[in-house]
Amino acid sequence: MDSVDTIVPSKKLAIGWFSFTCSEDSTILLTELLNDHWDEWKKVIEFRHLRSLKTQNSLKDLDVAFIEGAVSSEKQADEVREIRNNSKYVVAVGSCACTGLPSSSRNDFLSEEMNEKMKFYMNHFNYSDKVKKLADVIKVDDMVEGCPMNVEVFLTVVDKYLDIFKIK
């Protein structure tokens, strides 16, 4: 990532970070990246939604939404549609968001393999019959694959959107 020490942007990149059905390993990596990049990012990025680190979050007018995880219920599908409607760009982060796997591995279970405990959880939490990758529900503009996400690709994507919005 290029240095932004000498830049004083008139606007910051408004981002949101969201997590759905996954291990949240990319959220952990993002938290670790903040240790290394906080001083430069706070000058150019407004973390408008980052529930793992903030209590005051906003979904309004996001430039980029980073979404980690697969979609495993209609409620989650509605939430990602709302995120898409409030974001100029959406980036799928991690294997579950990009490919559905490993979260969607339950899609391959045969109905007779579903034991009563699994059926209880499916019904109790209103899970859909199938787990979906993010692009099966909304338009995705970019992907950062990996489980956890590939850090170098993530940093390149962040730089890309700083350039698109002419912030650096």
Domains recognised in the chain with CATH numbers: 13-160 (3.40.50.700)
Residue 144 bridge partners (DSSP): 93
Q: Per the structure block, which two tokens stand in for 80?
A: 């990602």
pLDDT at 5 over 60: no
Whole-number pLDDT of residue 114: 64
- Give residue 129's pLDDT: 84
Round to whole Å and give the CA distance between 75 and 21: 12
pLDDT digits (tens, 9 = 90+) for 56-73: 999 999 999 999 999 999
Helix H segments across 17-103? 25-44, 74-85, 94-99
Report the distance separating Cα 46 and Cα 39, nearest Å: 12
* DSSP letter assigned to residue 18: E
pLDDT at residue 122 in the model? 79
The reported pLDDT for the residue numbered 124 is: 82
| Predicted local distance difference test score (pLDDT) of residue 108 | 79
pTM across the whole model: 0.89
Give the pLDDT score at 9.
Answer: 57
Res 112: pLDDT: 63
**What integer is the mean pLDDT of 27-55?**
95
Mean pLDDT value across the chain: 90
**Angle at which helices 25-44 and 151-164 cross, to 10°:** 30
Q: What is the pLDDT of residue 119?
A: 76
Q: In what order do the strands lie in the sheet with 13-19?
A: 45-50, 13-19, 62-68, 87-93, 142-144
60 DSSP assignment = T
Give the pair of three-digit tokens for residue 33: 């990246």
pLDDT digits (tens, 9 = 90+) for 89-120: 999 999 999 999 988 888 777 566 566 777 78
Higher-confidence position of 30 and 168:
30
pLDDT at 3: 52
Strand partners, 17: 50, 66
Residue 133 has pLDDT above 90, yes or no: yes
* Rounded average pLDDT over 50-60: 93
